[in-house]
Amino acid sequence: MTLGTHVAFASVLYLGGATLFGYKPDWISWVLAAVASLLPDIDLPPARMGRLFWFISVPLERRFGHRTLTHSAVSLLAVAALAAPLWLINPLYFGGVVGGYWSHLWLDMLNIRGIDLFWPSTLRVVTPGNRNWRLEVGSKGEMLLLSGLLVAATALVPLSQIGFRDGLQRLLRNFDIAREQYQRVAGTHWYALELTATENLTLQPVTGQFPIVGVWQNGLIVERDGELRAVGVSQTRHNLYPLKARLIEGEPLRVVAERVNMAGHTLRWLVSRIDQSRPYFLLGEVEIADGRGPALTGRLDSVETYNPASYRGGILRLHYARAQELGPWLDRIAVRGEVVVQFWLKPGETAVTLGAGDEKEVEKIPEQLKRFL
């Protein structure tokens, strides 16, 4: 096959792989794949590679002939071994070289004579089996193949940037695909969910773009009208039932997390250490042994389904909670527990750390003991 056909076929395989398997293509690995797709023809002096490396090409052709040694599995393994250091720089560079070289062998199997894939065996590998369907170099059939490959490569350029599943999600607006997308890239960018849904309690329609905060019970947590709501298919665990959904990528995101031991402290002390002007979320569990579980819930979990802060059996569970969701528990002293504070930063924002805190005096005598004093 001609140079253009080999480069086009290598490009289709490279971009098609990015579309199907989700790796991010870049120019360096693409160029490496294209150049590697020409290397096997170093055994043919008239070819571009043969003319460039004539001092290698001429002896190779005299000794082994065309489409033998350099078109075999032996050479493919040798190229993989020589390119192995590229894996340490970027695995995609290594894959580009090996994949590009293999693309040449695969395409030359369509030639009338095929290739000696199992050299030094003289067994010729061809496809398809019917000789009449194979292609002569420079023939009208090859030109038709080249045209098809160029169209395919052009179509795959935008698809390779988003991937097959992401492209399908944009077309179908499927919530499950959007959730899987977010789970793969969470913490890398700010994301919003373009959503058409039904409110589970009121059965009212909900539409709009809502910032995504996190994942919850096979669903997503979004911010709606300043409150956090869970989106998903479960009517017992989620607030919003999704009908259509699309993931929207925003600015790059940097997440800085700090762990805080809460034993002997109140949540007010923790909140006072946080700059409330910066986006943050609290995750973790805190034991508050005061025996007032039902009185402290603040919300009815059975009605609201998802709550950023929920209390049962003396355990306060925080899942992407903020200060405004902690009212009933702010001044309760924790017996034990740990809370992770996540700070979400935009590009160029300075790092955030916890301050010293200001904890007011709180009555530390449990309510159950007060009547004996």
pLDDT tens-digit series, residues 281-296: 999 999 987 555 444 4
User: Can you list the domains of the chain with their CATH numbers?
Assistant: 3-162 (no CATH), 168-251 (2.30.30.690), 255-370 (no CATH)
Which tokens sit at 128? Answer: 């398809």
pLDDT in tens, 297-349: 444 444 456 889 988 888 999 999 999 989 888 888 999 999 999 999 988 88
What pLDDT is attached to residue 168? 66
Mean pLDDT of 48-55: 86
Q: How confident is the model at residue 360 (pLDDT cuts 50, 70, 90)?
A: low
Comparing CA positions, the residue from 338, 322, 319 lying closest to residue 330 is: 322
Tell me the pLDDT band of 358, cut-offs 50, 70 and 90: low
Q: How far is CA 54 from the centre of its chain?
A: 45
Higher-pLDDT residue of 213 and 364 is: 213
**Bigger pLDDT: 54 or 166?**
54
Q: How many CB atoms lie within 10 A of CB 133?
A: 10
Give pLDDT, residue 298.
46
Return the pLDDT at 359. 52
CA distance 55 to 95: 28
CB 38 within 8 A of CB 139: no
b/e map 241-265, b = 16+ CB within 10 Å = bbeebbbeeeeebeeeeeebebeeb
| Distances in whole angstroms, Cα of residue 308 to Cα of each of 91, 213, 223, 313, 365 | 40, 11, 11, 17, 28
Determine the residue type at 298: G
What is the percent of the chain where pLDDT is above 90? 53
Query: 138 or 358: which carries more pLDDT confidence?
Result: 138
For the chain, give the mean pLDDT. Answer: 86
**Mean pLDDT throughout 124-146?**
87
102: Cβ contacts below 8 Å, ≥ 6 apart: 76
How does pLDDT run across 226-244, given as a tens digit for each residue? 889 999 998 888 999 999 9
Q: How confident is the model at residue 356 (pLDDT cuts 50, 70, 90)?
A: low
